[in-house]
Amino acid sequence: MAAALADRNSVGVFGKGQNKAKNFVLVCFSLIFYAWGEPLYVFLMLVSVFFNFRFGLIIGKSRNHRRAALVGGLIFNILVICTFKYLVFFAQTLNDCGINVPVPRIALPIGISFYTFQSISYLMDVYRRVSPAQRRFSDLLLYISMFPQLIAGPIVRYQTVAEEIHDRHVTSRDIADGTYRFLIGLGKKVIIANQLSEISGQFLVDGLDSLSTAGAWVGIIAFTLQIYFDFSGYSDMAIGMGRCLGFHFNENFRHPYCCTSITDFWRRWHISLGSFFRDYVYIPMGGNRRHQALNILVVWFLTGMWHGASWNFILWGLYFGVIVMLEKYTLLRVHDRIPRVVLHVYSLLLVIIGWGIFYFDNFDSMLIFFNAFIGQSAALTDFVSQAAITDNFWLWVMAIIFCMPLRGTASALLASMLGRSSVLHGGAVLCVRVCISLVMLMLSVALLVGATNNAFIYTRF
């Protein structure tokens, strides 16, 4: 009976011969999803996909013009993102320098950074012969426009899903695991991130003019936790929805606040972005072989620029770039000799400072915050900051606990309690998952009813 059940699950809910129909339906709903919030800019995405499709065909077929087609495709994608994301910033910067130029009014298309980088990933993978050129425009459109990760990532490499675009099937296990992962992400966002955003906004926006030192710390720690649960929650939801559709996206977060260095932090945080810059910028520039320090600074300058057209993002990127560069020549060489708790405190402190730079796109507001942060404020503490801790005590506890790698610990504990019985272990895991899923769903729905603060932070990028 068990063998028969396994055979039935392996066949999948959908057959392999239905891929064209499934892809067509998924493309249609992805375009509707994007057009729902950006009806005009859906045409920009279609044009972008068409040009990348043509460049990809030339790269895949031609022997003499492969490099020229790659360069042309990269220039096209860079021009698209620079025009719609950075043109206003460049014009404003020139005006600030005394050069009068008209400042265009261009709205930022949602998710342009993500789908542009995925287009670049496609061209690079085809050029390196990691994946063949896509011969169906609709299938490349599916890769670029796939709604689970379209507007806020993660950045899915073409090689990751190339085979699944053409041949995939969805099993009952995929749907179960994907649904569970989606509900975990929903809970992270609605139950934790949204509540923390109210605390961070209370101090870093509404109460900035009268900010105490304790308020500065409470506000920025709330934002530190908020941005993790916000973005990792969205990544979990995207990975879960992708799994339900038969796609297996790579992990994007691995408990970054458990890091022991800034280098370690960025190996755990937004992994898809870090690996993109590593493979497509850092290594082609020479990587560790030559000009390493310059390569690191260039990558981190671009990382800052990718996050937003503002000087605070550039400063934020260079801040981490300098730290990562210095760690390679200092800390990482004696890393194993330093107590882990010291490394952990050191890393979290620098990360929190970094989020302080990231949060404020106004330098006057940033200066007010950091003055309070280092104790240069009218008051060291106040009733508001104390109330923010005591009134939300269990929210803080829950947020800190869920930053830790609980899954491995829980699995090991469950295994030790149930012994070697795979049947008991599987049944216990199923019961726990069902209970967690129901709790996440009910609490999330209850909090979403009448809520007004539900935007994902990374939709800005």
8 has pLDDT over 50: no
pLDDT for the residue numbered 13: 43
- Asked if 34 contacts 145 with a C-beta cutoff of 8 angstroms, the reply is yes
* pLDDT band, very low/low/confident/very high, at 215 (cuts 50, 70, 90): very high
Q: Does the active-site annotation cover 335?
A: no
The overall average pLDDT reported for the chain is: 87
- Give the lowest-confidence range in 85-89, 187-191, 201-205, 424-428: 424-428
Predicted confidence band at 460 (pLDDT cuts at 50, 70, 90)?
A: low
> What is the phi/psi pair of residue 448, to 5°?
-75, -25
> Which residue is listed with tokens 């370690």?
264
* Contact criterion met (CB below 8 Å) for 229 and 399: yes
Of 307, 335, 344, 425, the active-site residue reads 307
| pLDDT tens profile 195-211 | 999 999 999 988 888 89
Query: What's the pLDDT tens digit per position in 179-195?
Result: 999 999 999 999 999 99
> Between these two residues, 392 and 7, which has the higher pLDDT value?
392
DSSP E strands, 19-159 = none
CB 281 within 8 A of CB 299: yes
Peptide linkage before 405 cis (omega within 30 of 0): no
pTM of the model: 0.88
- What's the pLDDT tens digit per position in 314-331? 999 999 999 999 999 899
Reading the block at residue 141, the tokens are 């459109």
Q: How far apart are CA 355 and CA 342, in angstroms?
A: 20
- The letter for the amino acid at 164 is E
Q: Tell me, what's the pLDDT at 423?
A: 66
For the residues 399-423, what does the mean pLDDT come to?
73
Q: Where are the domains of the chain?
A: 20-168, 173-452
> Cα–Cα distances in Å, from 69 out to 27, 92, 393?
26, 33, 57
Per-position DSSP letters for 18-38, written without gaps between them = GHHHHHHHHHHHHHHHHHHH-
Mean pLDDT of 342-358: 96
* CA distances for 182 relative to 2, 82, 157, 235, 430, angstroms: 28, 33, 21, 9, 16
Model confidence band, residue 414 (pLDDT cutoffs 50, 70, 90): low
Confidence of residue 167 (pLDDT cuts 50, 70, 90): confident
